[in-house]
Amino acid sequence: MVAMTEPRGLDAVSAELYGGTPADFVARRDELAKQARADGDRERAAAIKALRRPTVGAWYLNVAAAAGLTSLRELLDLGRELRETQAAGDFAALRDLAARRGPLVDRVLRDLTAHLAQVGVTATGSGLDEVRTTLGAALADAAVDRQVRAGRVDRPLSYGGFGEVDMAVPPPTPSSSGGSKDSPDQAAAAAKDTLAAARRELAAAERERQAIESRGKEASAALRAARRRVETLETELDRARDALAVAEDEATRLKAQAAALTATIEQARKALAG
């Protein structure tokens, strides 16, 4: 990458870091933080240093946002419509919008997988699971929506039902007056279908929760190992710096001795010549 020649704001730094590959993230982040400190902007340096390296799935989403995938934009727009419709209490319209949710999520995953393949990246199942989880959160939570649109996702985000809206769509309620009424058999069948759908959603949510917990344990173990490795590398780096300082001092001393000997030799030659 081309080194910066002048200070930049945090937005520009974030755009560069999250637009790059996770493998380059830490080294480049630390380089930019170091430059911010050299520029005398310690607050921005601390903010840069606090930026987290994205997980694989988070990076996939950042790539999708940077590429401007049409299906991703349509899904996020659908989420906005869902939140606005829920807030308005228009449950009939909400049911129609919610029916588009699943197929559109699948389309985003297909488009993303194809785009990654075009840039030489093979999408992993675990990474796509993170994408699916985060997309579900973006549909329900405007803050997550903004993060995904900006391409600034650093970890999988999930929606626990305590955000802006509850995306569950209530079943139709019987009319209180006028219009046709369902027969008891039809009402029972509708109630049975609603219960079955609720059970399926509950089972899917439980599977998702278990998968997230499993990935969380793996991530925690990897984080602990990475921290230990960082501590080891930092210790080695400090020792290397100390050794370098000693070597530089020794080189300076030897250079001075060599200069003094050169002067002595020149004087001796002049004396002999005279």
157 lies in the same domain as 123: yes
Angle between helices 142-150 and 125-140 (to 10 degrees): 130
155 lies in the same domain as 60: yes
Pair of tokens at residue 252 = 């300076």
Number of Cβ within 10 Å of residue 217's Cβ equals 10
60 lies in the same domain as 163: yes
Is residue 247 domain-resident? Answer: yes
Q: What is the pLDDT of residue 190?
A: 64
- Cβ-Cβ contacts under 8 Å for 8 (sequence gap 6 or more): none
Q: What is the pLDDT of residue 145?
A: 94
239 lies in the same domain as 273: yes
Is residue 176 domain-resident? Answer: no
H helix intervals, 8-153: 10-19, 22-38, 42-49, 56-67, 70-88, 91-98, 101-118, 125-140, 142-150
Domain boundaries, position 44: 10-49
d(CA 25, CA 19): 9
d(CA 235, CA 238): 5
Q: What is the pLDDT of residue 168?
A: 44
Q: What is the pLDDT of residue 136?
A: 92
Query: Count of domains in the chain?
Result: 3
Is residue 156 domain-resident? Answer: yes
135 lies in the same domain as 39: no
62 lies in the same domain as 159: yes
Q: What is the pLDDT of residue 188?
A: 66
110 lies in the same domain as 145: yes
36 lies in the same domain as 60: no
CA Rg value for the chain:
30
The series of mean pLDDT values per 10 residues for the chain, 274 residues long, is: 49 87 91 91 90 92 94 94 86 84 93 94 93 93 93 85 45 43 61 68 72 76 80 81 83 89 89 81
Is-contact 122 96, C-beta < 8 A? no
45 lies in the same domain as 63: no
